[in-house]
Structure 1
Amino acid sequence: MSINMDEVKKLQEELERWKIQSEKMKNEKTTLYLKKVALGDKQEELQKELDDLVLKKKRIQDDIKKQQDMFREELLDLQMKRDDLEEDEAEIKKKLSENEKVFRKFQDTLMIKSQLPQKNLNFKGINSAENADDEPMDIAYTCHIIASEPFVLEGGQALLTFENEQVAKSVIAKRKHPLDINDKKVFVEVQEPPLGKSVKFEVNMNISNKKLKVSNLPQDLPEETIKDKVELTFYKSGIGGGEIKNVDYDRNNNTAYVTYLQNGVAQRVLKENSYQLMAGKDTHEVEVEPCMYIELNKLQMFSSVSSRSVLITGIKNVDDEEEEDVKDLIELHFQKESNGGGEVESIAFSQDRKIKPIFEEDLK
């Protein structure tokens, strides 16, 4: 068998091409493998970033939910406070209305129905008939008021007032006193009551016996018409009226002031709080009240001192005792002369609550 060299050469060349092709494919395979490894690392890195983002998203969602819950609770709390405030406002308005009614009733009683204190009068002379009506016949009240910050007696404290000022000074000088409470000695401390500053002033109130105030008048009538209607209404004898000296009208406040010629007429009319005023075909209910003139005089500021009173603090171990029993125990101790005490005029004791004792001007 003869071998053709040309064919051998072709086969060798073909073999070389396959080797080259194989090497090339091998390189490509290696390259692809490396790319796959790189992509796997990248995918792992991206997956990790994705997991981090998911976790971060969950944290943010949890924070948002917590804030929403917190805001919801705050909103509910604010709504409850608003409801409480509305209830308080309604209660305050109700009490204010009740107080206004009580004040109005007291005012009416004070100005019209009260009996004035008796006062002895001596005969001096006779006024001439022509100037008798010119004499003032108004009702005058004068009262003295002392205003101060209220003194508060706390739990475990007592307030004693002695009949003698020197006794108060003596027990304060000793300062600490032993009390037998529940078979135990309790040392209490005695000091002056811290009363602070007070204000004293005089209030002078004059109630006119000839003049009254009319309010709630119709606003759509001319001034002269209103004055005429007021005069016609309050001149009538059926309501206790009488001859009118003049009528003054204040359009800004929609009120009129009626001045009678004689004393006592205004007080008769003021027995009623309201009257019907006719204006054409319309009827208006108008209100009447006395004309008052109030002045504040003799304003004084001073430091309050209670020279016969003492404050006792540190009263302990009395939870099982009745307040009256503790008061008796305290009073018994501070009445004994051997303890520097003396006769007790009054006593107040607070076991577990706040008390506001009343202080009056000492006339002794």
Structure 2
Amino acid sequence: MSFDEDFSLVTEDLSLHKIQKEIEKLKKQHSALQAEQRVLLEGRDSNVEFTKKFQERVVNMRRSLEDEKRKQELAVKKEQEKLEGLKQEHSRLKVEVMSMEQKLKTMDETNQNLRQQTEVSTAVPEKKVVFNGKTADGANALSFDMKPRIMYPMEGGTALITFEEEEVAEKILALKEHEVALGECSIVVQAEPVRFLVPSGVELDTQVCPHRILVSNLPKKESVDRILDKLEIHFSKSKNGGGEVEETDMLEDAGNVVITFMDSNIAKGLTDKQTHEVEMERGKKHKVKVTPFLNGSITVLQTCNITCKKTVLLTGIPAVMDQDNLQDQLEIHFQKTANSGGEVDAIVYNPPGRRSLAVFEEEAPEAEQSQ
């Protein structure tokens, strides 16, 4: 074997060995790649599992969020309903409070009215009364009756004649003109109805005067000046609960005395006690009643026109004779049934050139007239 052949063999051996090494290297790379592939596959499977679990968690989280959202919406709805209920309750309570305040105000006004009525009732002087068996409607009404006293102006040359029966006055008015014989002459007079504008309803606003008292139940036999002097002396003394007196006045129509004090803190104490013993004669005392004095003003005045049922106005009467004779002649004429007249209850003649005031008062009921 030549040298070239030996070299060729060596070369071949080296190439084979190199190939084997390369194969071994490739096997190792293949094994590494397989291992890396397994790792990647495991990583992929792990990622897929993680992704699946993550998606499940996302779904569960979304479902949980939706449930939480629904719960929150339901809670908000309940709170809104509760708030609306509270608002309605607040409105109801507000209305109830306003109603209670109005009721309290009404009760306060009622109490004030009752207090004023109590003071007014104690302000009435004592009078002896007796039940006469009669009843009237509206016993609980807060009102009072007025007896009218009307001043009717009479022109000159007129007469007022009042008949006992309304029918007679109606006949006289229906004829209008009447010829009255006066001996040798006669006169013609006109009959006219008597009309008044009178109050039909009056409302008064009364207040107790802090400076005045009303003294009633006074002795009948003493003179007015003596009564006023004794009352002023008694009620000016502090030991009697009085004070400095500014003025004393006698109410002639009622027979009571009004005493005015300088200070406003005197009257209340005296009216609270009511009964006071005043020395009218030396060593003799007389019990008087002290009640509040009321100041009042008319707040409502309603009026109406009325026609006098029994009284007729005669006009156009000349002064043909003296007043008394002419009045008698007129009465005689209108008493005769032939002249459509009847029984005359009252007559007054006012001559020409004179002006008089005729006083009209409320007619007493028949039951009272017969007593």
> Could you say which TM-score interval applies, normalised by the shorter chain?
0.3 to 0.5
Structure label with greater radius of gyration: 2
TM-score calculated relative to the size of structure 1: 0.40
Q: State the TM-score, normalized to the length of structure 2.
A: 0.40
